[in-house]
């Protein structure tokens, strides 16, 4: 479109309060709507043009839209007076006439509650900026004398448009003309672009002086649980209302005092302080929290606590459950009432040695007043005889394996008593002449580095085993020893890890690998002191005068000994076997062997 088009005289408009006859106009393909909005914070109305096309386009190659004449007509409540028209884009009439109450319109049967403003723009071309379809572009703002009701763009179908045209030959309809509305061919008759109003009318609101309902309240449990509250007084023109309550309660609040009653169940209660008009926006809410004043409960986590007679007490434990447990603790006492606290906390280990059944008492701390009178909770510790009776044996599947032969050593532990055992552990010792190969057990774990078999629990009558595979790497007699090293309970006839061989938690076995002896060699066999009535044997025949703890061997044969307090080999001892060999040097040497006392 040529710019010169906008210098032509426009027809069908109201401008400078001059009413011109109506001329029928064609509608452009590039059309617009008008929209009116209201900003409550500034109490300002804004008129917008909402294009239904974008720039540039086939009629306007420019990125921006340019327009000359435009007209925005408003339908307003009859007592509404437009004020402070402020331009945003273009220059708009600042003192438009209010139409509809003139005598010429009397026969039009118009709604007497509404009147009309027609606000025109000067014909000077203005840059509206870039047009994007559906995106509003602001034209001007205005205010009103007061909030009288909704104000809107005059719709094309409004009766006033027809009445003004028929009775006064006035074009009061909205209009909009721009470069994009006219084809480039240079049509001398401008094409109308306005289609109709967009969106609802702009509804004004009266500024709200928001009430202040005061801070939220959380009431405190006292001797009697709380059911009432005192909120702030309502000011003139304000009132209190109940907003939400707990089920099965009948709650009321007074105005203006704000006195609440009937909060008989724990939970949140909400109240609203609002203006008398019941405005949903001009109000403030406050919450009152009624705590659950049911006292916390002490749950005994060790309800069947026991202690072994003659041993230390185990730890007693409680938990606190229920409502209002935050900050609540426990104290332990020796009596149901009075006395000083023995300990503080949820766990307590009584001091001393358990001899008879005893009772300890738990009292709550940090609770509300109404819970201080709750009786102390008793925790009973039953003292009982709980010693165990474990026995241990060891065995080998081959006592004469030969040099570098492989054998299996078996450790067996049996609970022969009337009480279950726990925390059971066994230590074993492999001699230097045995090399560990492998192990197998169905109970617990085995550490071959330390020789520790951690068993854990053994039920009454239960037997557990450990098999250890070894290779015998030296000649002579090799002893394998095992002993129960730990248990949580005391044993009736033994003490773990004390090394006393005659107790039933200690045992050993041995293997023999025959050794060569050459002419001129001397081997000395010795046993520890403490054996009595010793007698050495060779090939099961007593050796004359061989009654001391040491014996020198110079010939091949099978050697053993007996004593009053040990029998070898039947009680874990092994015979020493020497055979004639041709590998020995001619010089006599002495290789000592030591025989230790074994379990009967």
Domain 515-594 has CATH 2.60.40.10: yes
pLDDT given at position 13: 39
Q: Which SS3 state, helix, strand or coil, does residue 281 take?
A: coil
- pLDDT, tens digit, for every residue of 484-503? 999 988 898 999 999 998 89
**Distance, CA of 112 to CA of 100 (rounded, Å):** 9
> Is the CB of residue 274 less than 8 Å from the CB of residue 234?
no
Q: Using CB atoms within 10 A of its CB, is residue 340 exposed (0-12), middle (13-18) or buried (19+)?
A: exposed
**Distance, CA of 373 to CA of 267 (rounded, Å):** 24
- pLDDT, tens digit, for every residue of 299-348? 888 888 888 888 889 899 999 888 778 888 899 999 999 999 999 999 99
pLDDT given at position 151: 96
pLDDT given at position 546: 93
- pLDDT, tens digit, for every residue of 393-407? 999 999 999 899 999
- pLDDT, tens digit, for every residue of 376-427? 999 999 988 888 999 999 999 999 998 999 999 999 999 999 899 999 999 9
Give the CATH class of 217-290: mainly beta
Domain 390-512 has CATH 1.10.268.10: no
**Distance, CA of 165 to CA of 470 (rounded, Å):** 121
pLDDT given at position 147: 87
pTM of the model: 0.41
User: Given this chain, do its domains 297-384 and 515-594 carry the same CATH topology?
Assistant: yes
pLDDT given at position 381: 93
Query: What percent of the chain is modeled with pLDDT above 70?
Result: 89
What's the per-residue H, E or C state across 27-75?
EEEEEEEEEEEEECCCCEEEEEEEECCCCCCCCCCCCCEEEEEEEEEEE
- pLDDT, tens digit, for every residue of 175-187? 999 999 988 775 5
- pLDDT, tens digit, for every residue of 450-483? 999 999 999 999 999 999 999 999 988 888 999 9
**Distance, CA of 192 to CA of 171 (rounded, Å):** 13
What fold is seen in the domain 297-384?
Immunoglobulin-like (2.60.40)
Give the range among 7-11, 242-246, 270-274, 506-510 with minimum mean pLDDT: 7-11
pLDDT given at position 530: 66
- pLDDT, tens digit, for every residue of 21-39? 444 468 999 999 999 999 9
Joined together, the tokens standing for residue 187 give 């049509």
pLDDT given at position 223: 72
> Is the CB of residue 37 less than 8 Å from the CB of residue 96?
no
- pLDDT, tens digit, for every residue of 426-453? 999 899 899 999 999 999 999 999 999 9
Joined together, the tokens standing for residue 281 give 């926006």
What's the per-residue H, E or C state across 161-210?
HHHHHHHHCCCCCCEEEEHHHCCCCCCCCCCEEEEEECCCCECCCCCCCC
**Distance, CA of 562 to CA of 532 (rounded, Å):** 9
Q: Using CB atoms within 10 A of its CB, is residue 75 exposed (0-12), middle (13-18) or buried (19+)?
A: buried
For the cut 70, the answer to whether the pLDDT of residue 591 exceeds it is no
What is the pLDDT averaged over residues 93-112? 94
Residue 565: pLDDT band by 50, 70, 90 thresholds?
low
pLDDT given at position 23: 44
**Distance, CA of 294 to CA of 388 (rounded, Å):** 46
Give the range among 62-76, 102-116, 192-206, 577-591 with minimum mean pLDDT: 577-591
pLDDT given at position 15: 37
Return the higher-pLDDT residue of 90 and 295: 90
What is the pLDDT averaged over residues 549-578? 77
pLDDT given at position 473: 94
**Distance, CA of 114 to CA of 78 (rounded, Å):** 5
Phi, psi of 432 (to 5 degrees): -60, -25
- pLDDT, tens digit, for every residue of 118-157? 999 999 999 999 999 999 999 999 999 988 889 999 999 9
- pLDDT, tens digit, for every residue of 534-552? 999 999 999 999 999 899 9
Question: Reading across the β-sheet that carries 27-39, which strands appear in turn?
Answer: 82-87, 137-144, 44-51, 27-39, 192-197
- pLDDT, tens digit, for every residue of 148-169? 889 999 999 999 999 999 999 9
What are the extents of the domains in the chain?
Answer: 3-197, 217-290, 297-384, 390-512, 515-594
Question: Residue 105 carries which DSSP code?
Answer: G
Nearest to 380 by CA among 478, 306, 465, 459: 306
pLDDT given at position 566: 60
Phi, psi of 14 (to 5 degrees): -105, 125
Residue 11: pLDDT band by 50, 70, 90 thresholds?
very low
pLDDT given at position 528: 63
Average pLDDT, the chain: 87
**Distance, CA of 253 to CA of 259 (rounded, Å):** 5
Residue 63: pLDDT band by 50, 70, 90 thresholds?
very high
> Is the CB of residue 326 less than 8 Å from the CB of residue 295?
no
- pLDDT, tens digit, for every residue of 49-59? 999 999 999 99
């Amino acid at each position: 479109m040529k710019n010169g088009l906008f210098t032509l005289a426009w027809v069908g408009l109201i401008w400078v309060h001059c009413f011109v006859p109506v001329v029928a106009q064609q509608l452009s393909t590039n059309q617009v709507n008008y929209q009116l909005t209201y900003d409550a914070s500034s109490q300002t109305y804004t008129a917008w043009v909402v294009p239904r096309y974008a720039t540039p386009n086939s009629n306007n190659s420019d990125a921006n839209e340019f327009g000359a004449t435009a007209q925005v007509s408003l339908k307003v409540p009859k007592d509404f007076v437009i004020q402070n028209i402020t331009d945003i884009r273009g220059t708009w009439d600042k003192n438009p006439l209010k139409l509809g109450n003139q005598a010429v319109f009397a026969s039009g049967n118009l709604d007497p509650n509404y009147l009309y403003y027609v606000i025109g723009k000067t014909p000077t071309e203005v840059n509206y900026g870039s047009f994007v379809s559906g995106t509003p572009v602001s034209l001007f703002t205005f205010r009103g004398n007061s909030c009288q009701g909704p104000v809107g763009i005059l719709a094309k179908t409004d009766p006033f448009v027809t009445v003004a045209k028929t009775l006064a030959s006035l074009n009061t309809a909205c209009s909009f003309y721009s470069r994009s509305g006219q084809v480039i061919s240079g049509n001398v008759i401008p094409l109308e672009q306005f289609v109709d109003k967009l969106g609802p009318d702009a509804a004004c609101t009266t500024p709200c002086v928001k009430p202040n309902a005061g801070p939220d309240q959380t009431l405190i449990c006292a001797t009697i649980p709380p059911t009432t509250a005192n909120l702030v007084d309502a000011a003139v023109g304000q009132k209190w209302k109940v907003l939400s309550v707990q089920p099965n309660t009948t709650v009321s609040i007074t105005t203006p005092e704000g006195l609440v009653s009937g909060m008989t169940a724990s939970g949140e209660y909400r109240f609203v302080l609002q203006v008398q008009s019941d405005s949903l926006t001009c109000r403030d809410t406050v919450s009152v929290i009624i705590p659950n004043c049911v006292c916390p409960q002490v749950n005994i986590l060790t309800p069947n606590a026991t202690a072994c007679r003659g041993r230390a007490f185990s730890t007693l434990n409680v938990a606190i459950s229920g409502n209002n447990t935050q900050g609540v603790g426990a104290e332990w006492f020796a009596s149901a009432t009075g006395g000083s606290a023995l300990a503080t906390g949820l766990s307590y280990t009584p001091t001393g040695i358990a001899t008879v059944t005893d009772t300890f008492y738990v009292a709550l701390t940090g609770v509300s007043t109404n819970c201080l009178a709750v009786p102390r909770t008793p925790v009973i510790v039953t003292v009982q005889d709980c010693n165990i009776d474990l026995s241990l044996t060891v065995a080998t599947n081959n006592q004469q394996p030969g040099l570098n032969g492989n054998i299996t050593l078996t450790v067996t532990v049996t609970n022969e008593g009337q009480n279950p055992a726990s925390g059971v552990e066994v230590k074993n010792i492999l001699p230097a002449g045995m090399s560990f190969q492998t192990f197998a057990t169905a109970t617990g774990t085995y550490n071959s580095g330390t020789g520790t078999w951690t068993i854990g629990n053994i039920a009454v009558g239960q037997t557990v085993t450990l098999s250890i595979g070894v290779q015998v790497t030296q000649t002579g007699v090799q002893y394998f020893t095992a002993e129960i090293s730990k248990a949580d309970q005391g044993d009736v006839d033994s003490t773990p890890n004390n090394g006393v061989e005659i107790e039933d938690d200690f045992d050993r076995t041995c293997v023999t690998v025959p050794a060569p002896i050459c002419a001129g060699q001397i081997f000395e066999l010795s046993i520890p002191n403490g054996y009595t009535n010793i007698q050495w044997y060779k090939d099961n025949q007593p050796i004359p005068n061989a009654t001391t703890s040491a014996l020198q061997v110079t010939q091949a044969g099978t050697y053993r000994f007996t004593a009053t307090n040990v029998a070898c080999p039947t009680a874990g001892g092994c015979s020493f076997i020497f055979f004639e060999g041709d590998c020995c040097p001619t010089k006599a040497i002495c290789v000592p062997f030591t025989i230790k006392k074994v379990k009967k």
